[in-house]
């Protein structure tokens, strides 16, 4: 399960790469397998609650996303990409650590407003002031900074409210961010009745006028330009996690003198006016376009790996996907997400990738591209999926697992090959489903009885995985 390359363990690949003669590296960089450049820059862009069909290149007909569509034409587009969790905080934990979020403890559910725990383990940690990503968990930003990268975040954090969980403690030299899950896009406060200001700059409260999507992209672009002027000899890692299109649903031209009132349906994740929802995504696409233009203008484009993905499946406000379920569930609609990657001259342009992949595969791929290993004693759970694609090799056979908890409800899932087991537990009652995802991506036909042997095998694998990822705190 901890395989970090297509067919050779990650650490062995790293050693071989270090020992390879220049002629060997040139041979690996044939037309069929382009040689990876040394230490590319990395731009990692994350959307929040973006549905699988919410981009033009994924089938949206009434949402215009020309910049992301172009990125897909210039790079690769995954058609079976999964988030590590069906909610915000879990996937972000897996993304930054490269490991299953269950290993950390308390982060199998989105952290509640102000740092509230929403299931027993999270409630316990919150009572101890420990609900968040602890500094003891190495992140990809820390690893890259130690390797000489300049690092910055501009956007949503949602991995702990206390300062000890802040981005600066996790490897980011520069950090402009919002603390929690969602905020008013114009007034930058959390949900009523608290209306707590949650915008931070390097750990300190800050006030800025503007639409959140623009503020995050503009800060990222400002930092990038400053970096190119002062420190261009180093590679950089820029993390841009938008809040869009997460609730509250506010279009760019809807600023009001005060935050949205408590009774506004715009705070509800399932009640977005379709035109407003589209406008939020289109503004995010515009913002991404400005950042990509800056990369080109600064002549950083050719050696920059750009990754775009969503942190989970869409809400009920997302465009119809044909998939079962929404955010919060481990049905396909809750965990399948769009993902686009561009790496000029290294990855093929305009290709669709049908191999199943998951969020932390991109973490392992970033590390591999930067020539760094997983932290001692904490091997990545993901694989170097981009290395597999670059070499034209199928990824290794493996199973993928999910578990999400909120209150008394627990969602589980396991996928191996084309079969996927889904289990939903409410209190003492568990309901199970078995699907053939290749034949039935919409999860319409439950094979739990006819596929009893397959279900039993996946159930056993899921139990073994749960034992393996048991948190230590």
Contact 422, 402 (CB under 8 A): no
pLDDT band at 467 (very low <50, low <70, confident <90, very high): very high
Contact 159, 93 (CB under 8 A): yes
Judge whether 9 lies within some domain: no
166 and 293 co-located in one domain = yes
Judge whether 31 lies within some domain: no
Q: Is 158 noted as a catalytic residue in this protein?
A: yes
Classified as helix, coil or strand, 44 is: strand
Classified as helix, coil or strand, 362 is: helix
Q: Is 188 noted as a catalytic residue in this protein?
A: no
From the list 383, 422, 373, 417, the residue with the least C-alpha distance to 1 is 383
Q: Chain-wide mean pLDDT for the chain? A: 93
Q: Give the residue, 473 or 6, on which the prediction is more confident.
A: 473
Predicted confidence at residue 16, as pLDDT, reads 28
- What CA–CA distance (Å, rounded) separates 113 from 196? 9
CATH label of the domain that carries residue 140: 3.40.720.10
420 and 392 co-located in one domain = no
- What CA–CA distance (Å, rounded) separates 151 from 139? 12
Per-residue pLDDT reduced to its tens digit, 159-214: 999 999 999 999 999 999 999 999 999 999 999 999 999 999 999 999 999 999 99
Predicted confidence at residue 25, as pLDDT, reads 27
pTM: 0.93
117 and 148 co-located in one domain = yes
Domain boundary among 398, 416, 445: 398
324 and 219 co-located in one domain = yes
CATH label of the domain that carries residue 429: 3.30.1120
Judge whether 11 lies within some domain: no
Measured between alpha carbons, how far is residue 159 from residues 27, 39, 47, 55, 323 in Å?
43, 28, 16, 27, 28
Exposure string (b/e) for 357-379, b if CB count within 10 Å is 16 or more? Answer: bbbbbbbbbbbbbbebbbbeeeb
How many domains are contained in the chain? 2
427 and 393 co-located in one domain = no
363 and 414 co-located in one domain = no
From the list 300, 298, 323, the residue with the least C-alpha distance to 313 is 323
What percent of the chain is modeled with pLDDT above 90? 91
- What CA–CA distance (Å, rounded) separates 74 from 191? 39
Judge whether 405 lies within some domain: yes
Per-residue pLDDT reduced to its tens digit, 163-173: 999 999 999 99
Judge whether 1 lies within some domain: no
Predicted confidence at residue 26, as pLDDT, reads 28
Classified as helix, coil or strand, 222 is: helix
Number of Cβ atoms within 10 Å of the Cβ of 294:
18
Judge whether 72 lies within some domain: yes
Judge whether 359 lies within some domain: yes
282 and 426 co-located in one domain = no
Contact 39, 371 (CB under 8 A): yes
Per-residue pLDDT reduced to its tens digit, 366-378: 999 999 999 999 9
Domain boundary among 398, 423, 449: 398
Helix or strand (DSSP H, E) at 70: helix 66-74
DSSP 116: B
Per-residue pLDDT reduced to its tens digit, 237-291: 999 999 999 999 999 999 999 999 999 999 999 999 999 999 999 999 999 999 9
Q: What tokens does 470 get?
A: 């048991």
375 and 387 co-located in one domain = yes
Tell me which of 6, 88, 339, 388 is the catalytic residue. Answer: 88
Q: What tokens does 385 get?
A: 């999926």
Q: What is the mean pLDDT of residues 433-449?
A: 98
Predicted confidence at residue 33, as pLDDT, reads 53
273 and 358 co-located in one domain = yes
Contact 380, 98 (CB under 8 A): yes
Q: What tokens does 139 get?
A: 């992140």
Per-residue pLDDT reduced to its tens digit, 395-431: 999 999 999 999 999 999 999 999 999 999 999 999 9
108 and 154 co-located in one domain = yes
Predicted confidence at residue 54, as pLDDT, reads 98
Whether 132 has a pLDDT exceeding 70, the answer reads yes
Domain boundary among 398, 427, 451: 398
Per-residue pLDDT reduced to its tens digit, 82-123: 999 999 999 999 999 999 999 999 999 999 999 999 999 999
455 and 394 co-located in one domain = no
Tell me which of 6, 67, 109, 158 is the catalytic residue. Answer: 158
pLDDT band at 35 (very low <50, low <70, confident <90, very high): low
Predicted confidence at residue 19, as pLDDT, reads 29
Determine the straight-line distance between the first and last CA of the chain, rounded to whole angstroms: 22
Classified as helix, coil or strand, 307 is: strand
Judge whether 324 lies within some domain: yes
451 and 312 co-located in one domain = no
Provide the domain limits for residue 458.
401-468
């Amino acid at each position: 399960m901890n395989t970090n390359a297509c067919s050779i363990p990650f650490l062995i690949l790293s050693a071989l790469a270090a020992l390879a003669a220049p002629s060997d590296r040139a041979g690996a960089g044939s037309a069929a397998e382009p040689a990876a450049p040394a230490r590319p820059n990395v731009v990692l862009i994350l959307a929040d609650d973006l549905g699988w069909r919410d981009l033009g290149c994924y089938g949206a007909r009434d949402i215009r996303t020309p910049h992301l569509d172009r990125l897909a034409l210039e790079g690769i587009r995954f058609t079976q990409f999964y988030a590590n969790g069906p909610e915000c905080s879990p996937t972000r934990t897996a993304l930054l650590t490269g490991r299953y979020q269950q290993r950390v403890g308390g982060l199998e559910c989105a952290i509640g407003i102000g740092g509230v725990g929403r299931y027993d383990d999270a409630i316990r940690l919150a009572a101890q002031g420990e609900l968040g990503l602890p500094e003891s968990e190495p992140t990809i930003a820390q690893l890259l900074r130690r390797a000489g990268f300049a690092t910055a975040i501009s956007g949503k954090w949602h991995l702990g409210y206390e300062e000890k969980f802040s981005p600066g403690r996790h490897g980011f030299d520069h950090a402009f961010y919002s603390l929690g899950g969602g905020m008013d896009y114009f007034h930058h406060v959390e949900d009523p009745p608290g209306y707590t200001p949650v915008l931070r700059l390097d750990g300190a409260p800050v006030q800025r006028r503007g639409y959140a999507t623009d503020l995050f992209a503009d800060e990222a672009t400002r930092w990038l330009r400053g970096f190119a002027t002062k420190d261009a000899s180093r590679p950089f890692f820029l993390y841009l996690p938008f809040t869009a299109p997460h609730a509250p649903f506010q279009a760019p031209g809807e600023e009001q003198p005060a935050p949205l009132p408590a009774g506004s349906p715009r705070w509800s994740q399932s009640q977005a006016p379709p035109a407003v929802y589209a406008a939020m995504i289109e503004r995010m696409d515009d913002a991404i376009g400005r950042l990509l233009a800056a990369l080109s203008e600064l002549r950083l484009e050719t050696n920059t790996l750009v990754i775009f993905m969503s942190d989970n499946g869409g809400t009920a406000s997302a465009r119809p996907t044909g998939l079962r379920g929404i955010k919060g569930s481990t049905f396909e609609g809750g965990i399948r997400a769009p993902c686009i990657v561009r790496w000029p001259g290294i990855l093929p342009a305009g290709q669709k990738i049908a191999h199943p992949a998951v969020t932390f595969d991109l973490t392992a791929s970033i590390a591999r591209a930067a020539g760094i290993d997983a932290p001692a004693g904490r091997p990545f759970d993901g694989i170097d999926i981009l290395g597999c694609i670059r070499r034209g090799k199928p990824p290794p056979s493996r199973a993928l697992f999910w578990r999400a908890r909120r209150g008394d409800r627990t969602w589980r899932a396991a996928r191996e090959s084309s079969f996927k087991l889904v289990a939903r537990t409410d209190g003492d009652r568990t309901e199970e489903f078995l699907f053939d995802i290749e034949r039935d991506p919409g999860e319409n036909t439950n094979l739990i009885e006819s596929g009893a042997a397959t279900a039993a095998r996946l159930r056993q694998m899921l139990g073994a995985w749960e034992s393996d990822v048991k948190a230590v705190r």
